[in-house]
Structures are given as C-alpha cells and as structure tokens.
Amino acid sequence: MARRSDHTKEELQDLIVSETMKLVDEFGATNIRARDIAARIGYAPGTLYTHFDNLGAILLQVNVRILVRLRTQIQGAIDSAHDPTDRLLEMGYAYLGFAEAHPNWFALLFNHKLKQGQVVPAHLQEIVDGLFDLVRTELAALDPKATAAELELGVRALWSGVHGICALSLSDRVVTQRWRADRFVLKTLVNHFLASWPYAASRRERSDIAGSSPARATAGDG
C-alpha cells in the first residue's frame, strides 16, 4: 500500500536515495529496478519519477553518497599518520579496504555511465576533486618544486596504480588467483612511486605536460 503523504518531498528524495544505496550494496546496480526501490520504501513505482527523471538520476545521487563515505574513510585513515609517505600509504589502504568491503558500490562508481544530456552534480565533482587534492597535497609536500601540471600527472599516475590493484582484487579472474597479497602489492607500488617522485620532478621528466590544463575527473570516467 502506497504511503503517498507520509513524507515531505525532501524526505522522500532522501529515502529513495538511501534505500537505493542499500540495494546497490546488497545486489549490485545492474540488478535493481524501480519496482525494487518502490517496494523497499513503500510507495508506488511511479512515485520515483515524480522526484527523479529516471533510475540513472537516482544512481547518480547514490554515487555522491558513496563518494562521501569513501572520503570519510580515507580522511579517518590519514588523521593519525605522521608524514606524507605514511598518509599516502594509508590512503591506498583505505581505498582498497573500501573497495573490498563494498564491491558493488565500487563498481557503481566506475561503471555508471551518464545518459546523453545528463550533467554531473556539482557536489559530486567537488568530492572527486577533494579526493585528488588529498593526494596532491602530500605529493607537493614531498616535492615542493613540482609544478601544477607535474602534480596533476603524479596524482593521476599514483591513483591509477592504486585503483588498478583494487580493481584486480575484486575481479576474481584466473590471472589473479594463484597469488593474492593485495596490501603488499599496494605498499610496493606506493613506495616505489614515491622513491622516484622527487627526482623525476627535478629532472623535468614530465616537462612534456607542463602548461597543460588538468583534466576534471568524474565517477563515471572510463
């Protein structure tokens, strides 16, 4: 039975997104239909479309909340770290831990595609930029002479490596089954990257991208 007057517009929007987030965590985004969300919140399926254009718009708001959770987990992990190297390593561990604890959320973040004409919410972009800024701050501390373009490339390179480890950890593919030590792999990657980072910057090995404009990243990139 629909409960059409139980909530304000804002409360109902929040309820829709909250319950969709739970469904994604349990079953994965590809297995969710509007009727599943409606059944969870106790409203008719059509109610969803009076508040959101389509299911993709709901999932986009779920992505915003997932990123907030990820940011909170990463920030909590680095608060007790004592230097840039430790903070970057703790960021990587937190990222991996989040992916392993919530594989369906992680999949939604990087597999959800925007529909034509759909705009990334400004708040989502701000969170993504903020996550990258955490990495950028520590790389800048390790190499104060690095230019903005060099820092941007360093952020993307390090994040790509850590993200790749997380993706492989969740892939359950034949090529990753014989030997699994993801935290050690992540530590090795970060330590080797940071060992060469200041020296590579001083030699201007990344000068080919000097002056380029940093690309903006979204959860739907890739």
- Residue ranges of domains in the chain, CATH in brackets: 83-209 (1.10.357.10)
**Is the pTM higher than 0.75?**
yes
Place of tokens 């990657």: 189
Encode pLDDT of 104-114 as tens digits: 999 999 988 77
96 pLDDT higher than 80: yes
Per-residue pLDDT of 15-44, as tens digits, reads 999 999 999 999 999 989 999 999 999 998
Share of the chain above pLDDT 70, in %: 84
Q: What is the pLDDT of residues 113-135, one digit of tens each?
A: 777 777 777 888 899 999 999 99
**Residue environment code for 149-160, b if the CB has 16+ CB neighbours within 10 A, otherwise e:** bbbbbbbeebbe
Please report which confidence band the pLDDT of residue 204 belongs to, taking 50, 70 and 90 as the band edges.
Answer: low
Q: Is the pLDDT of residue 175 over 70?
A: no
- Find out whether 64 and 124 touch, Cβ atoms under 8 Å: yes
pLDDT (tens digit, 9 = 90+) per residue, 41-65? 999 888 899 889 889 899 999 999 9
Burial class of residue 144, CB neighbours in 10 A (0-12, 13-18, 19+):
exposed
C-beta contacts of 199-208 below 8 A and 24+ residues apart: 201/143, 201/145, 201/146, 201/150, 201/154, 202/143, 202/145, 206/149, 206/150, 206/153, 206/154
